[in-house]
Amino acid sequence: MAQQIPSITATEFASRRFDFVVVGGGTAGLVVAARLSEHSGLSVGVIEAGPAVIDHEHISVPGHYGRTIGGPLDWKFETTPQPGLGGRSLAWPRGKVLGGTSALNFMAWNRASREDYDAWSQLGNTGWGWDDLLPFFKKSETFRPPDQQNREQNKLFYDAEAVGTSGPIQISYATEYSASHQLWHDTLHALDAETNEKHVGGSNVGVWTNILSVDPSSVTRSYAASSYLPNTSRSNLSVLTDALVTRVTLSKSDSTGEWEATGVSFRHGDEDFTVFAAREVIICAGSVQSPQILELSGIGNQEILAQAGVEVKINNPNVGENLQDHIMAAMIFEVDPSLPNPDDLKADDAAAAAAKEQYEQTKTGPLTILANSMSYLPFSHFMSTDTVQSLADKAASLQEFTAQDRAIRHARFDPQAKLGQIEYIFDLGNWSPFFRPDPSDGKKYATCLQILQYPFSKGNIHIRPGPDGVPASAADKPQIDPKYYEGPGGQIDLETMEYCAKFADKIVKTKPLANIVKARAFPPASDGDDFKDWIVSTTITDWHPVGTCAMGGRLGIQSGVVDERLRVYGVRNLRVIDASIMPLQISAHLQATVYAIAEKGAHMVLEDTAVN
């Protein structure tokens, strides 16, 4: 784990003259700060709104995943009421702690298919294809191979040429699994899905066992704060926590008339400060807060800024737009009550205490088990050719996308593409926030998650004025409107989720998995296979927002917020490096890709700074 972060006061921090100021000490921000500060001639300051929390049980213990959500280490964002979800608002957890969301997530470590990253390059973002990113994926990670017995028993495959061996994040296969995992691969095989033995090597299609961001030596979460800041004694690196950035300070060049980032204003306690950046300000605040900070700084849609009482400096209507998120629904099944179930630890204090003692003594047992049974499939695997063609025709007609964006989305429906359009995860335990069984009935449950990977629903995130017309403030949560299932594109998402729910039901009713399943509990088996109302009333986010500060590609500022070097259009010495720069959503959990983006972003900063 990371050493104790050296203490620095806000006054001391603001008085230092940094070459680079990094806004956000989360997943991407700590990567960027660590890589830049490897060069002793460069001084780096990091500003993080959350606290520095070291060795927090609910962060470090794998089996405690989810326990920090909704607590003090979570920003606790919410969406606006969503008409496509029957007027519901959704919780949007994001990490408010050093390490960001990498401290809160469920530790899944996977990559999208080659075609997903190549699509970024096809949009004109030179240097962002699969071959360009692979070295940075590998640079971020150290893969620890499983032993032979574990490999054979749990089907733990990997491509040795595609994984990193000397990066900060420790990744590994688990050594213990839910009882249902032994049935997962054979069940998907019975439905003509093959085990993918190279699922991080450029194609994620098929069935496979997931890799985790867990250090097998200590059996603890490996995340940005524990892995990228092991050497906090670097004199050229300062980290200030519990400090809220209010805006990037911009000045206009007298000679060129260009806007230039010169530093960052922030609030610590009850005091306001400004810190100077001699070379660059780098925003790494994530898909929710990076656009918020740009808008508070005067960069964004001039109408939105004017309504929020912010002086317009760069009019770019793309800031905060292009929001894309993975959409998830959870089907619940009653299963054999004799099987060990993670819900036992929630209902039985003695079982929870025994699991805790076992983990502390031997680093084994229930608190080492995570969700690992995964499958990514194209729609053509379970939809008829006519159905897929109908969806493709609808996708081709959507006018809310640019022609090049629309062409890529349309091509994803090609049966020959073999892309993971839907993700399925199966695990014992009830994962649904909407299904609340009677704990006294003695029944046990399992969950089949379905997660839409290439959504057409596209929303936005923007600042809004405070009460009574008070100008927007960094302390005010931005308005998050994903527009789930809205408009013609959203209707495609809803239609595909209905088909995907039918196949989820089929998966769990297929042997050998069906041997441990008694009945579908939610939606009730009596509902048959009419899933539309259930999907509308229970869909939630899989917490994978991207795109709100997207790379513009060949269309430049007409289509995006940053160029292919992640420089903000119209402002010198200002970059964004995080998931918000992704122009198109990918078929994968985002964690590994965000690390790769940060590694590549830091590399580009050093190239542009001419540091060897």
Q: Which residues are annotated as part of the binding site for FAD?
A: 97, 101, 245, 543-544
Q: What gap in Å lies between CA 582 and CA 584, rounded to an integer? A: 6
Of 567, 509, 517, nearest to 316 by C-alpha is 567
* Closest by CA position to 316, among listed 54, 10, 550, 153: 550
Tokens for 554? Answer: 């060949």
Q: How far is CA 86 from CA 71, 488, 533, 573, 581, in A?
A: 27, 17, 9, 44, 30
Say whether 410 is catalytic: no
Hey, what are 266's tokens? 């922030």
CB contact set of 156 (below 8 Å; sequence gap of 6+): 146, 150, 173, 209
Residues 6+ apart with CB under 8 A from 109: 141, 169, 171, 210, 211, 212, 213, 589, 591, 592
3-state secondary structure of 87: coil
Token readout for 461 is 């995130």
Q: Which of 199, 462, 589, 603 is catalytic?
A: 589
Spatial distance between the Cα atoms of 100 and 257, rounded to a whole number of angstroms? 36
CA pair distance 103, 99, nearest whole angstrom:
6
The Cα 300–Cα 548 span in angstroms is 11
Is residue 544 flagged as an active site residue? yes
Contacts of 610 (CB under 8 A, 6+ apart): none
Which residue shows structure tokens 């001084």?
43
In 3D space, the residue among 571, 562, 574 whose CA is nearest the CA of residue 605 turns out to be 574
- Report residue 332 as tokens: 């619940």
**Got the DSSP string for 132-183?**
HHHHHHHHHEEEEPPPHHHHHHHT----TTTS-BS-SEEEE--S---TTHHH
Question: Considering 58, 410, 544, 603, which one is annotated as catalytic?
Answer: 544
**Running DSSP on this structure, what letter comes out for residue 440?**
G
Crossing angle of helices 130-140 and 591-609, rounded to 10°:
100
Angle between helices 487-508 and 385-396 (to 10 degrees): 160
Provide the H-helix boundaries in 144-221.
148-154, 181-190
Annotated binding site: 97, 101, 245, 543-544
Residue with tokens 């190239």: 607
User: Rounded to a whole number, what is the distance in angstroms from the first to the last CA of the chain?
Assistant: 29
Q: How many CB atoms lie within 10 A of CB 564?
A: 20
Residue 23 to residue 474: CA distance in whole angstroms: 13
Q: How far apart are alpha carbons 428 and 104 in whole angstroms?
A: 21
DSSP assignment of 410-429 equals HHTT-TTT----EEEEEEES
As given in the structure block, the two tokens for residue 323 are 């929001």
Nearest alpha-carbon partner for 433 in 534, 330, 341, 536: 330
Contact of 548 with 323, CB cutoff 8 Å = yes
Active site positions, annotated: 544, 589
